[in-house]
Amino acid sequence: MILGVTFTEDAVIGLLVAAVQFGTLLYLAALGETISEKAGVLNLGVEGMMATGAAVGFIAGVETGSPWIGLIAGSAAGMLLSMLHAFTSVGLGADQVVSGLALTFLGLGFADFIGDGYTDDERRARFADVEIPGLDDIPYVGEILFRHSPVTYLAVISGIAAWFILNRTAAGLGLRAVGETASTADAAGHSVLRLRFVAVGIGGAFAGASGAYLTTYLVGSWSQNLTAGRGWIAIALVIFGAWRPGRVAIGALLFGFTLALKSRLVIFEIDFSPRLLDMAPYLLTIIVLVLISYRARNRPSPAPAAIGIPYRREER
């Protein structure tokens, strides 16, 4: 017993399992945003793309009875929405902050609009947990890491693939170059517009998938304001992870833990207003960002240099 709280073995394991589940949610969105920002496009529409992904994912899932179709449809919806942001901010060179925020608005509104009749829907299309043979029997570790929905494993694979593509392939080099100095990348023969469109689209697909994961696994049902600001945490995670897929994953687990903690309070019989603990992930985000910036104040920023700057060849 610590501080009057009883920590049973099951409760602690349950908490860590939930941390990985919430971490998956955050990681999918944050990984997508990392790729978009690596190409120099800040997309503040994550929350909206997530919400639309969640609504579309739920509808497609329950109508077809397949969570896989839900996940794919949600992801496609996120990608479609992100194309609007790409068109205005990359194609027309509009301010990325304004365009991204409008996208959040649009995504939240669209999700509520199409989800209107599905709020009390009892149907479910949920992923089942998949145990990784041979690994799921490891004491504790197996239970915490190797008994998850397929989406969690996909997120891990995506993270490794993103790291590999960004750092070890010509396409990834081009994408990063476009996000650092677009004119140089252009001169070197990379199509700035095409690479940025692709990066924003991948970002949208991941954000949509993250939302669909909410409705096809984590929560399982659709309701208004389901995303509850987690899209914004995902954007903060990109800064936390210094635009590196690996570090972003660590951040996602850490923040996933704080989100899980809140949902598990009851189990620990903690006599503490969950509303106040509810604030923790958001306050933690601020504290962590301040600490990171403070530590890095005399070093060059790890942010892609061209972030937020539209590119027009004739004006370089």
Partner 1 sequence: MKKLVLVRRETPTRGGQPAAFLAGLIFALLVGALLLLVTGDPVLDVYERMWERSLGSTDTWSSTFNRAIPLALAGLAVSIAATMGLWNIGAEGQILFGATAATLVGRIFPDAPGPVLIILMLLAAAVGGALWALGPGLARAEIGVSEIITTLMLTEVAIRLITYLEQGPWKDPEGFGFPNVTARPEQAELGDLWDRTHIGVLIALAVIAGFAWFLNRSVWGYELRIAGSSAKTATYAGISMRRKVLGVMLLSGAVAGFAGGIELTGTAVRLNTQISNGYGFAGIIVAALALMRPSGVPFVALAFGAVQVGGQSIQTSLGVSPAVATILQALILFGAIGAAVFSNYRVQAVERQVVAT
What is the contact surface with partner 1 in residues (CB under 8 A)?
44, 84, 88, 92-95, 97-99, 101-106, 108-114, 116, 229, 232-233, 235-236, 239, 273, 275-276, 278-279, 282-283, 285-286, 289-290, 293-294, 297, 312-315
Q: How far is the CB of 157 from partner 1 (least distance, A)?
A: 28
Do 22 and 288 meet the contact criterion of CB atoms below 8 Å apart? no
Q: Which of 215, 53, 47 is nearest to 121 (CA)?
A: 215
- Which CB sits closer to partner 1, 164 or 316? 316
Estimate the share of the chain in helix, then strand, then coil, as percent rounded to the nearest 5. 70, 0, 30
CB of 13 to partner 1, least distance (A): 28
Tokens of 18: 């939930």
Which residues, at least 6 apart from 192, have a Cβ–Cβ distance to it below 8 Å? 178, 182, 185, 186, 311, 313
Q: Which residue, 235 or 260, has its beta carbon nearer to partner 1? A: 235
Q: Rounded to the nearest 5°, which phi and psi values hold at 196? A: -70, -40
Tokens of 39: 């190409």
User: Judged by CB, which is closer to partner 1: 94, or 173?
Assistant: 94
Q: How far is the CB of 57 from partner 1 (least distance, A)?
A: 17
Q: C-beta of 160: minimal distance to partner 1 in Å?
A: 27
The residue count for the chain: 316
Instruction: Give min distance, CB of 77 to partner 1, in A.
Output: 14
Between 97 and 161, CB nearer to partner 1: 97
At 181, which amino acid appears?
Answer: T
Nearer to partner 1, 123 or 316 (CB): 316
Do residues 41 and 89 make contact, with C-beta atoms less than 8 angstroms apart? Answer: yes
Tokens 């329950």, residue located: 62
CB of 158 to partner 1, least distance (A): 23
- By beta-carbon proximity to partner 1, the closer residue of 9 and 314 is 314
- Which CB, 11 or 284, lies closer to partner 1? 284
- Give me the least distance between CB of 164 and partner 1, in Å please: 28
Nearer to partner 1, 72 or 233 (CB): 233
User: Per-residue b/e over 286-301, b at no fewer than 16 CB within 10 Å?
Assistant: eebeeeeeeeeeeeee
For residues 164 and 157, give the distance between their C-alpha atoms in angstroms, rounded to a whole number. 11
User: Any idea what DSSP says for residue 147?
Assistant: E
Q: What are phi and psi of 5, to 5 degrees?
A: -110, 135
Question: What is the separation of C-alpha 241 from the centre of its chain, rounded to a whole number of angstroms?
Answer: 13
Is 227 in contact with 112 (CB distance < 8 Å)?
A: no
**Min separation Cβ 34 and partner 1, Å:** 15
